[in-house]
Amino acid sequence: MAKKACIETFGCQMNVHDSERMAGLIEQAGYELTNDIGEADLVLINTCSVREKAEDKLFGRLGELGRGGRGRPLVAVTGCVAQQEGGRLLERSSHVDVVVGTQALRRLPLLVDRADATGESQVDVNPYDDVSFPLGIAVRSDPVKAYVTIIEGCNDFCAFCVVPYTRGHERMRPAGEILAEVGQAAAAGHREVHLLGQIVNHYQDPGDPQHDFAWLLRRVHEVPGVDRIRFASPHPRHVTPEMIAAMRDLPKVCRHLHLPLQSGSTRVLKNMRRRYSRETYLELVRQVREAIPNIALSTDIIVGFPGETDGDFEATMSLVESVGFHSMFSFKYSQRPNTLAAKRMPDTVPESEKTARLMALQARQKTIQERLHAGCVGESVEVLVDSRSRRQRDVEMFSGRTTQNTVVNFPGRPEWLGSMLKVRVERAGPYSLRGQVSGSA
C-alpha cells in the first residue's frame, strides 16, 4: 500500500504554491496525498513567519502531533520558519525529522527518504540560487486559478519585513519558463492565472532587461485559454507608466490593483524604508484611476510600527478614507528576527494601543466597503465561478469574483464551476455581494 502524505499550509499565496509544488514532488516519490492527518505517514508543515502569530502556529501543530497515540508520522517542516530557524527547530521540538528551507524545496523527497531510511534528522537551508522548477510537476489545488511564480526572494529590506531573510535575495525566472508554465496551466483548464512574486512588478527577464513586468503581462495575455490575469504583490514604488498602460490596454488583466500602503504617514513610511511618501502614493492612485477608471484598489496596512504616534495613525485613517479601498488586510506590528526594526527600533506602541488602532481602522474600512458594495445593488456583474460555498437552507450556493476581485455569492450548479457568468446583484454586505445568475457572460 502506498504511503500517505498530508500537507498543511500557512501563509501567503507563495506558500500555497510551494505546497502545490511539494505535493507534486512527494507524489512522484511514491506517496499518495491525503487531507486526513490521522492516516498520514508523512506530515509536511509549510510555515510562515511574517508575524509572530503565524510562527506560533507551527509550534501549536507540532505539540498536537506529539500527542498522537499511534506510531508518529515522519514530520517535515518547510517554508519561512524552516528557513529562519534551520537546525534550531530540532532543538525546539523533538517531533521534527526534516527541515527544508525555502530555496531547497526540490531536495524535499531526497531528505525525507534519508530521514526515513536512517532515522536521522535532515536539514537543508542552503541559499540555492536556482529558481527553475520542472514543468508539470506542481499539483494545482484549485481548478480555476493557477499560481505561476515569476520572481523569488526580495532585495528591498523594508524595516519590518522578514521576507528577504526567509526567501533570500531576488531571483527572476526566465520568461520562456514562465510562459511555458502559463500555457500548460491554461491547457489544463485553469482560466485564471496569478503571477506571483514578492515584488511582482519588479520583474525583468534575466535574458533581456528590456522585458519588464509590463512586457510580461502582454505576453501572458496572448496565451490561448487564459481568460483572466491577476498578480501579487506589486510594490507602489515599481508601478511604471508602462505597467499602467498594459493594465489599461489588456482586457484579461483584472481591474484590481493591490497597492500595499503600510502607513499613511510619510514619517513612518520613511522609518519603514518604503521609499515613497503619502503624497507620491496618492499621486500614483490618481494616475492609476485616471488611466483605468473602474479599477478597484486594495491594500495592506500595519498599525503600531515603532514610534507611530496618534498623529501618524490619523494620517493612515485619513488616507484610507480618501482613497476608498475595496478591501484591506491590516495587521498589528510584530517584531521579526533579523529585521532592521528589530535591531534598531524598540517596539514602543503598547499592545492595547495597537489593538485599539487596528479596531478603529477595520471599523472605518468596513464602512467604506459597505458604501462601495451598496452601489453595486441592481447592477449586473460578470463573475468567474471559483468555488462552492455553504448550502443555505436547501439552496446550493456558489461563489465567484468580479474582475474587481469582489466576492459574489449566488445559488448555482456544480457544472458552473469555472465558467464566466452574469449575476444580478440583489444584496450587498461589507465583505461580499449576493445575487442571481442571469446568463453566461
Tally Cβ neighbours within 10 Å of residue 22: 27
Identity of the residue, 146 or 162, whose beta carbon is nearer to ligand SF4 in the bound complex: 162
If one asks whether residue 5 binds ligand SF4 (CB under 6 A), the answer comes out as no
Q: Which residue's Cβ lies closest to ligand 5AD?
A: 300
Pick one of ligand 5AD, ligand SF4, none as the site partner of residue 14 (Cβ within 5 to 8 A by kind). ligand SF4
If one asks whether residue 5 binds ligand 5AD (CB under 6 A), the answer comes out as no
Interhelix angle 278-291/310-323, rounded to 10 degrees, is 10
Query: Which of 334, 369, 403, 406 is in the footprint of ligand 5AD by CB under 6 A?
Result: 334
The piece of 8-16, 86-94, 114-122, 137-145 that touches ligand SF4 (CB under 6 A) is 8-16
User: CA 75 to CA 40: how far, in whole Å?
Assistant: 10
CB of 142 to ligand SF4, least distance (A): 17
Query: Which of 8, 177, 249, 300 is in the footprint of ligand 5AD by CB under 6 A?
Result: 300
Pick one of ligand 5AD, ligand SF4, none as the site partner of residue 80 (Cβ within 5 to 8 A by kind). ligand SF4
If one asks whether residue 11 binds ligand SF4 (CB under 6 A), the answer comes out as yes
Identity of the residue, 158 or 320, whose beta carbon is nearer to ligand SF4 in the bound complex: 158
If one asks whether residue 122 binds ligand SF4 (CB under 6 A), the answer comes out as no
Identity of the residue, 24 or 260, whose beta carbon is nearer to ligand SF4 in the bound complex: 260
Identity of the residue, 203 or 398, whose beta carbon is nearer to ligand SF4 in the bound complex: 203
If one asks whether residue 15 binds ligand SF4 (CB under 6 A), the answer comes out as yes
CB of 358 to ligand 5AD, least distance (A): 10
Pick one of ligand SF4, ligand 5AD, none as the site partner of residue 336 (Cβ within 5 to 8 A by kind). ligand 5AD
81-100 mask for ligand 5AD (x: CB under 6 A)? Answer: --------------------
CB of 9 to ligand SF4, least distance (A): 9
DSSP 248-279: HH-TTB-SEEE---B-S-HHHHHHHT----HH
The piece of 9-17, 69-77, 365-373, 427-435 that touches ligand SF4 (CB under 6 A) is 9-17
Cell numbers placing 241 = 507608466
If one asks whether residue 328 binds ligand 5AD (CB under 6 A), the answer comes out as no
35-54 mask for ligand SF4 (x: CB under 6 A)? Answer: -------------xxx----
Query: Which of 121, 166, 299, 402 is in the footprint of ligand SF4 by CB under 6 A?
Result: 166
136 within 8 A of 188, measured Cβ to Cβ: no
Q: Interface residues for ligand 5AD in 134-193 (CB under 6 A)?
A: 160-161
If one asks whether residue 263 binds ligand 5AD (CB under 6 A), the answer comes out as no
- The residues that touch ligand 5AD, with contacts defined as CB under 6 A, are 50-51, 160-161, 260, 262, 300, 302, 331, 333-334, 336
Q: Which residues bind ligand SF4 (CB under 6 A)?
A: 11-12, 14-15, 48-50, 79-80, 162-163, 166-167
